[in-house]
Amino acid sequence: MRALIIALAAAAIALPAAAQEQPVELKKAPGLDKVEGNCSGCHSLDYIMMNSPFPNAALWDAEVTKMIKAFGAPISDADAKAIADYLKQNYGS
Amino acid sequence: MFTRRHLIKAAGAGLALTGSGFGLRSPEAAAAPIDLPAALPEGVRSNAMLDALPGKKPLIKLTYRPPNYETPIEYFRTAITPNDAFFVRYHLSNIPEVDVKTWKIVVGGEGANGQAEFTLDDLKRLPAAERVAVNLCSGNRRGLFQPHVPGVQWSYGAMGCARWKGARLKDLLDKIGLKKEAIEIVFDGADSGITDKTPDFIKSIPTWKAIEDTTLVAYEMNGAPLPHLNGFPARVVVPGWTGVYWMKHVTSISAVTKPEGGFWMNPAYRIPLGKFPIVARFTSQETAVNTPITEIVVNSLITSPADGANVRMGPVVVGGIAWDGGYGISTVEVSSDGGKTWVAATLGEDLGRFAFRTFSYDFAPKAPGKQTVMARATNRIGQSQTTELIHNPAGYHHNVVHSVTFNVA
């Protein structure tokens, strides 16, 4: 028991003083690589889970468009379509 | 000497004491689900967790980056929200740690007669003003909207009330002098987007609001320097108006003669015209269909008993807080019969018209079982909370009467 406590404490201590972003595991499905590659540079991927599953297809299209047009995300047309399709399939209504 | 071995032992003791690892990060803590309102989107209910940012107690993490963390309801049982439990909200991910030795605010703009720079010491040399005021995110309770709207899916905790101390903004503006055509005062802070194509977070307020005595450039929060994630070393404090105008890490204050046109003024942070009972208008920014969000709408929150709590048969103290956009709370009423009849609650200490006002009501359940109580606040200009949500595309101004259901046994 004592060994377990010390091991747990060591794990906790090993993390830096700053809270560290933990990996956000999205559903494994076609297009996930495009989501991770294009979206996670500017924001953590929990934004996607948080805004689910209520968006319909039009809303997910609008969100991807907003990231490109309003926020200047450098995403190719092909990747934008793959991302929107992934979101609709896995986090849509 | 303080060695790593000591550190681990001390941490081990701490972990044993706290059990679930509430004070320390542990795998269990990270995975611990929290009970969030059923009305929230399923994605946030299953994904949100308690997580501690640097210098903060564990708050409800909605997103890591940019960080959006809300305050658990139990911290609202007092009128002042502790700094280390105060919510965190950012729009953009690049949030530099500000070095006070080089930090300064540049005050000027084409609507001003001159330009001046203020270091933190300069700010502190100006006459100090203090104000207790609620900082409330425009989108607080957005997650409770039906139908849901996209955005940060906050429940009740994207708000807090603190005693802010700083210089009056008008004292900074007086140093440079405003032209009579200066219609807005524009704020920029040290944070920015990851790509330079992302619109920088820039906000303006009308000049009339900027020169009110209550509008501050604050360097203290509850008697301490601002926490980094709440705007260190100084932020704008606009009592009565929603948090979006309270620019953190403020670096630039500019008077302008034309409306600020950036993304964060339009289309962001807009409410439909005519839907809300708003007194404070921002006319230089109004369009035919919408207007910037301005003052906070009257609202209240029941903080005890907690929703879903088990309480003993006998008198139950129903407690909570109420607030508005600075007119002041006049009454809070409580209903235990689904809104058919309302009884006035007792108001707590008055910390000023911009502050949380605590209330309490002694409820005597007639029988064991499930009990639901509701609270409704009214302000000094006669505005009260809604019973039906006023839906709007961005999910602002949710002030539907709050209710909690608890079990009496």
Q: Is the residue at A15 inside a domain?
A: no
- Write down the pLDDT at residue B31: 42
B-chain residue closest to A48, CA distance: B43
Asked if residue B78 has pLDDT above 50, the reply is: yes
- Write down the pLDDT at residue B27: 40
Q: Is the residue at A45 inside a domain?
A: yes
A-chain residue closest to B41, CA distance: A52
Sort B238 into a burial class: Cβ within 10 Å, 0-12 / 13-18 / 19+. Answer: buried
Question: Rounded to a whole number, what is the distance in angstroms from the first to the last CA of chain A?
Answer: 46
How many CB pairs lie under 8 A apart between chains A and B?
A: 115
Q: Is the residue at A33 inside a domain?
A: yes
Which residue ranges does chain B devote to CATH 3.90.420.10?
105-147+158-292
The pair of three-digit structure tokens given for residue B337, joined into one six-digit string? 């019969």
Residue A19: half-sphere exposure toward Cβ, Cα within 13 Å: 25
Q: pLDDT tens, A47-64?
A: 999 999 999 999 999 999
ipTM surpasses 0.85: yes
Q: Is the residue at A80 inside a domain?
A: yes
The pTM (predicted TM-score) of the whole model is 0.90
| Closest Cβ–Cβ partner in A9, A42, A70 for B11 | A9
Q: Left, alpha or beta for A24 (phi > 0: left; psi -120 to 50: alpha)?
A: beta
Q: Is the residue at A52 inside a domain?
A: yes
- Helix, strand, coil share (%) of chain A residues, nearest 5: 60, 0, 40
Q: Is the residue at A27 inside a domain?
A: yes
- Write down the pLDDT at residue B21: 31
Q: Is the residue at A76 inside a domain?
A: yes
Other residues' Cβ atoms within 10 Å of the Cβ of residue B338: 10
From chain A, the residues in CB contact with B57 under 8 A are none
Q: Is the residue at A44 inside a domain?
A: yes
For the domain that residue A35 is a member of, what is the CATH number? 1.10.760.10
Mean pLDDT in residue range B171-195: 97
Architecture per CATH, B299-408: Sandwich (2.60)
Element (DSSP H or E) covering residue B4: helix B4-18
Q: Supply the range of the domain harboring residue A47.
A: 23-91
Which residue ranges does chain B devote to CATH 2.60.40.650?
299-408
B150-B152-B153 Cα angle (round to 5): 85
The count of domains in chain A is: 1
What number does CATH give the domain B105-147+158-292?
3.90.420.10
Other residues' Cβ atoms within 10 Å of the Cβ of residue B143: 29
